[in-house]
Chain A
Amino acid sequence: MKKTILSIVTALAAVASTLVVLTAPANAHGYISSPPSRQANCAQGRVANCGPIVYEPQSVEGAKGQKNCHGGLGQFAQLSDESKPWPATSVGQNVTFNWVLTARHSTSTWEYFIGNTRVAVFNDGGRQPGATVSHNVNLGGFSGRQRLLAVWNIADTPMAFYSCVDLQIGGGGGNPNPTPTPTPTVTPRPPSPTPTVTPPPAGGTWRAGVSYATGSTVTYGGATYRCLQAHTSLTGWEPPNVPALWSRV
């Protein structure tokens, strides 16, 4: 009898949680990873105080036809904040834009704008894209610091995904169209983040972001661990959690 009641309760709980799982929104889509878009710079931690976009750079989804960096979404408004110190990537006239996709929506077009000029469009005719997408774009003679807006237009919904990329466009030499920008503000490229190649502190306390060599030792939670495989440490890879990387001495 007890067993019966228990299993009924368990079954009910199971049904309830299945419903929760199945109705969870599929909130995943895509963004430009390189040259880094604003949301990529936020997710990477290169630009601070970006708000919730750091956890979901793939989710800048808004109605089609917009010309802003945040898809009109209030929670991602920081992406359109021009007072933030967005790093600009130095590029030439031809740039390959690489997308991270987390869902392959069938696609009408991919559009690239600088100001009101559409510098490139790629028509997929409603096809599903591949697992990754790259486009080579000619920037049409623009130069200096520019904010490029990329738009991924979905074929079977009224929605699009937005990514802004800050560029420092170098002289391509002999461009037919001189720059329409007023004063090319030469923003020095911010120093690229220092690659984390700190020598492993012998017997020091484990930290994230350190490049540990095989055989080096650390302490964590009062215990000593030896590194089994060279790697750069990450949050979530604390020694007791990853026996593949660390063995307790």
Chain B
Amino acid sequence: MKRLAIVLALVAGCSAPPPPPSFNAADVMFLQMMIPHHEQGIEMAKIAERRAVRPEVKALASAISATQSDEAKTMTTRLTRWEQPMDAAPGAHDAHGGLHDTRPSDILSLNDLPDDQFDTNFLNLLTGHQHNAVDMARTEVKTGQDTATKDLAKRIEDSRNAQIKEMLRLLAAPPR
């Protein structure tokens, strides 16, 4: 009977609702791309927790590192539960040409900045990084299937947009 229903659904054509595997390839790719992206953000934020000059920059960095660590754990657990690899097939992200990646050397170079240049460089680097997180999250909201993952993507989109706003405010209002 169940089989009949599925066959009927197939015959009915593309408009039939898909049978319920709870996730699709877009969900998997979102998690595979977002986990390392989060880890880079955490790495930047941890450097800023140590090096930021303005207390409000330091507090923002600490909160970002704490919240993203939680999110990364949630995402890693989900991929494991789905029995999916942590890494996408080699070349799967080539459409991005590597243009959007923050390079490990960019993050490490934060360590070498003099104090008076640290906050501005950190905020600009992380703002660019979070704009790219927003793009990935929006793609997931549009093309993903798993409800919990789409909800997470929506929260990532919202909180990163709010962080960008806050960082632009900090950049526009230099310390006196």
- Interface residues of chain A, those whose CB is within 8 Å of chain B, are 1-2, 5-6, 9-10, 13-15, 17-18, 20-24, 26-28, 30, 33-36, 40-41, 43-46, 55-56, 58, 89, 98-105, 130-132, 134, 192-193, 195, 208, 229-232, 234-237, 241-245
Contact = CB atoms under 8 A, between A and B. Distances in A.
B87 interface: no
Contact of A21 (B66, B69, B121, B139): B139
Contact of A28 (B18, B21, B66, B132): B132
B76 interface: no
B171 A36 contact: yes
Contacts of A10: 19, 21, 24
Contact of B29 (A21, A34, A44): A21
B127 to A, nearest CB: 5
Contact of A232 (B24, B166, B171, B173): B166
B3 interface: yes
A150 B116 CA distance: 25
B56 interface: yes
Nearest to A6: B19
26 contacts: A2-B3, A2-B6, A5-B3, A5-B6, A5-B7, A5-B10, A6-B19, A10-B24, A15-B25, A18-B29, A28-B132, A34-B120, A43-B164, A44-B165, A45-B165, A46-B169, A56-B131, A131-B125, A132-B121, A230-B59, A234-B162, A235-B158, A235-B159, A235-B162, A236-B157, A237-B162
Nearest to A237: B159
A98 B167 CA distance: 13
A189 to B, nearest CB: 11
Contacts of B145: 13, 17
Given A43-B165, A232-B166, A234-B166, 14 more contacts: A5-B3, A5-B10, A24-B139, A24-B143, A33-B171, A34-B171, A36-B171, A131-B103, A131-B128, A229-B62, A231-B60, A234-B159, A237-B162, A244-B63
Nearest to A230: B59
Contacts of B168: 33, 36, 40, 43-44
Contacts of B97: 26
Contacts of B115: none
A195 B69 CA distance: 27
Interface residues of B, number: 64
Contacts of A30: 128
A100 B127 contact: yes
B161 A55 contact: yes
A98 B171 contact: yes
A19 to B, nearest CB: 9
Given A18-B26, A24-B139, A103-B99, A2 B2 contact: yes
A242 B70 contact: yes
B172 A89 contact: yes
